[in-house]
Amino acid sequence: MSKAPGIYTKLTAIGLGSLGFARLWSGPDHLLEVTAYGFSERYRRFYWREIEAVLVRRTAVRLIWNLIGGAFAAISLGGLAVSLHYSARSTSGPEEVLLGISIGLCGLIAAVSLIVLLVNTLLGPRCVCLLRLPVGVERLAAPTRMRVAIRMLEKIAPRIELAQTELVAAPLP
């Protein structure tokens, strides 16, 4: 038995937003945002004909995370250098064990910090997406990266234009 085709098309992969894990779906006449908070989900529907503008704005969140990650990496690499310096002085006994633990801990923190720094840099600039509606401006939980937002805009712009063209072309009563 074949599976019936769904009416929704995935626009974005699961993204980690400020409100939880979020994903956008394209429906026949609307944009659907699904945000998961642990064991619950929130659904918001935005009709194509009501969307007046889609605003995408770069934020400094990536820079802030890179500064935090860089600070952790620098501090832990400094601690690693100090621990390696003292371990080279050929100590013995409990000092050797403590130096081994500090070397391992500083190395682990430095490695994790550098990996987070690299991944955050490779994913590209962060952004916030806003929808201008007749009732006001709504912030979307996803996408949070510029590259994903641009791809999403390329997919939804024709849908919005088509829905609003049909609305204008309809005869007045």
What is the 8-class DSSP label of residue 141? Answer: S
Provide the 3-class DSSP secondary structure of residue 57.
Answer: strand
- Tell whether the model's pLDDT for residue 133 goes beyond 90: yes
Q: Are residues 166 and 82 in contact, defined by beta-carbon separation less than 8 angstroms?
A: no
Distance (Å, rounded) from C-alpha 103 to C-alpha 119? 24
* Residue 124, φ and ψ in degrees, nearest 5: 95, 180
Question: Is it the case that residue 75 has pLDDT exceeding 60?
Answer: yes
Predicted pLDDT at 147? 92
Q: In which band, very low, low, confident or very high, does the pLDDT at 141 lie, cut at 50, 70 and 90?
A: confident
Q: What backbone torsions phi and psi does residue 14 show, to the nearest 5 degrees?
A: -65, 125
Per-residue pLDDT, averaged over 122-135, amounts to 92
Give the length of the chain. 173
- In this prediction, residue 143 carries a pLDDT of 87
Q: What is the pLDDT of residues 2-21, one digit of tens each?
A: 444 578 888 877 776 666 78
Output the six-digit token pair for 34.
């699904």
CATH class of segment(s) 9-59+126-159: mainly beta
Q: Which residues contact 59 (CB under 8 A, 6 or more apart)?
A: 125, 126, 127, 128
Rounded mean pLDDT of 111-137? 92
Of 27-31, 68-72, 168-172, give the lowest mean pLDDT range: 168-172
pLDDT at position 100 is 78
Once rounded to an integer, what is the mean pLDDT over residues 52-64? 91
Going from N- to C-terminal start, the domains of the chain cover 9-59+126-159, 61-123
